[in-house]
Amino acid sequence: MRVKPKFDKKSQTDFYQVLRTRVHAYFDSNQISPYANSAFYVKVGTGFLLWLLTYVLILLSKPSPEIAFVLIMLHVLLGLFLAFNLAHDANHHAVSASARVNRIFSYMFDLLGVNSYLWRLEHSTHHTFANVPEVDNSIADYAIIRFSWHAQRKPWHQFQALYVPLLYGFSTLNFIFVRDYVFFFTNYKYSPLLGKKTPVDEAIKMVIWKMLFYFFAFVLPLYFLPIPLWQGILMYFFAYFLQGMIMGFVFQCGHLLPETHYPLSNEDGKVREDWASCILRTSFEYGRKQKWLQWLSGGLNIHASHHLFPRVCHVHYPQLAEIIAETAKEFDLPYQRVENLQQAVGAHLKFLWILGHQDKSSNSLEGVLT
Ligand SMILES: [Zn+2]
């Protein structure tokens, strides 16, 4: 089992304390709940109905190949929309004050073919230890990709800016067909269950959900669609490939840009930094003015707000971001912003290129704080 480091309390400043007080004061003085509001339910409800509608049309409308392709694309991308906007928030207990409501909505992940139990385990580690080498799976050393200065650079990494986006295309297919099984049933070094007893009930639930998903998501539509099987499989592959690519960029642009930081733990197993300031140094906000991006991505583009307040529903992130940026300035901490999505994608690709061509960071701060 990988040992999780601790954040050194001695280096803790008042930053997070002050920030929390201000954020609570914002909700109290405006008499707003930090959970979902009516705009959230209208958005997510509409998305869910459209997701169901596209599914029914795939099954029953006997579409032409062109229309079938459009319906499959829409259905799979609406699935991603629900993962970003509903499943992510629900698995963070951010939709409602009621644990039961969050629990019910958290199964949206399972409806999309991803095991919610494992997702919560892995994602909570990422939230606490964002960009901490050997702990955060988002920057895991898979040899084929170099996501941090602390992974060994290999000759093929100089081309990674070209092939990593293509690998992102397989990310959701990996969740659906490979990863959950490997995490549950093998001693894979990146499994959040490594060194722990596999919970049999969760493993059984996972297999049942997966079988139901494969049947409803692939077997039934491919049976009913009046197109050759190979065409149907290709259409689904293309739709999931695009879904995976979008997911990869949306998440990685939140942490892996050239200015990012990798908090290291020292020999006594402690990260000599305050947790909240680590989050500010490792997280980015991009495309704040692109309201459509915030709406579609469930606020994942306002990433520091999400990491610092994961139990607040994403509809409140823009207001939180202002409070965080102001407080960070007072404490002489960075609030890292990128103008728009295009620039964030470009910066992420540039960073992949730099990691593929340089052994060490040229950022003078990198390593000093560890
Ligand atoms: Zn999260």
Mean of the per-residue pLDDT values for the chain?
A: 93
**Does 360 have pLDDT greater than 90?**
no
Whole-number Å distance, alpha carbon 130 to ligand 1 midpoint, is 11
Query: Region 109-130: what's the mean pLDDT?
Result: 95
Whole-number Å distance, alpha carbon 246 to ligand 1 midpoint, is 16
Work out how many domains the chain is built from and give that number.
1
Domain-located, residue 364: no
Query: Region 191-198: what's the mean pLDDT?
Result: 88
Which of 20-29, 125-134, 337-346 has the lowest average pLDDT? 125-134
Residue 197 pLDDT grade (very low, low, confident, very high; cuts 50, 70, 90): confident
Whole-number Å distance, alpha carbon 230 to ligand 1 midpoint, is 36
Domain-located, residue 174: yes
Whole-number Å distance, alpha carbon 176 to ligand 1 midpoint, is 19
**Does 15 have pLDDT greater than 90?**
yes
Percent of the chain with pLDDT over 70: 96
Residue 2 pLDDT grade (very low, low, confident, very high; cuts 50, 70, 90): low
Whole-number Å distance, alpha carbon 306 to ligand 1 midpoint, is 7
Domain-located, residue 363: no
Whole-number Å distance, alpha carbon 340 to ligand 1 midpoint, is 21
**Does 63 have pLDDT greater than 50?**
yes
Residue 368 pLDDT grade (very low, low, confident, very high; cuts 50, 70, 90): very low
Give per-residue pLDDT as tens, 217-231.
999 999 999 999 999
Domain-located, residue 170: yes
**Does 366 have pLDDT greater than 60?**
no
Which position has the higher pLDDT, 365 or 113? Answer: 113
Whole-number Å distance, alpha carbon 36 to ligand 1 midpoint, is 16
Question: Per DSSP, what are the bridge partners of residue 224?
Answer: none
The whole-number pLDDT of residue 133 equals: 87
142 and 150 Cβ atoms separated by less than 8 Å: no
Domain-located, residue 1: no
Whole-number Å distance, alpha carbon 127 to ligand 1 midpoint, is 6
Give the C-alpha separation, 289 to 287, whole Å. 5
Q: Which residues contact 37 (CB under 8 A, 6 or more apart)?
A: 313, 315
Whole-number Å distance, alpha carbon 216 to ligand 1 midpoint, is 27
Segments forming the whole domain that contains residue 152: 6-357
Give per-residue pLDDT as tens, 76-102.
999 999 999 999 999 999 999 999 999
| Full DSSP string of 65-129 | HHHHHHHHHHHHHHHHHHIIIIIHHHHTT-S-S-HHHHHHHHTHHHHTT--HHHHHHHHHHHHHT
Which of 45-54, 209-218, 320-329, 354-363 has the lowest average pLDDT? 354-363
Query: Region 27-55: what's the mean pLDDT?
Result: 98
**Does 165 have pLDDT greater than 50?**
yes
The whole-number pLDDT of residue 342 equals: 97
**Does 365 have pLDDT greater than 80?**
no
Domain-located, residue 156: yes
Domain-located, residue 370: no
Distances (CA, A) of 139 to 146, 150, 367: 8, 10, 17
Whole-number Å distance, alpha carbon 143 to ligand 1 midpoint, is 25
Greatest alpha-carbon span in the chain: 66
Whole-number Å distance, alpha carbon 6 to ligand 1 midpoint, is 20
Query: Region 303-308: what's the mean pLDDT?
Result: 96
The whole-number pLDDT of residue 16 equals: 94
- Integer-rounded Cα Rg, in Å, for the chain is 21
The whole-number pLDDT of residue 363 equals: 64
Domain-located, residue 211: yes
Whole-number Å distance, alpha carbon 222 to ligand 1 midpoint, is 33
Whole-number Å distance, alpha carbon 95 to ligand 1 midpoint, is 13
The whole-number pLDDT of residue 6 equals: 80
Give per-residue pLDDT as tens, 255-299.
999 999 999 877 676 787 889 999 999 999 999 999 999 999 999
The whole-number pLDDT of residue 142 equals: 84
Whole-number Å distance, alpha carbon 154 to ligand 1 midpoint, is 31
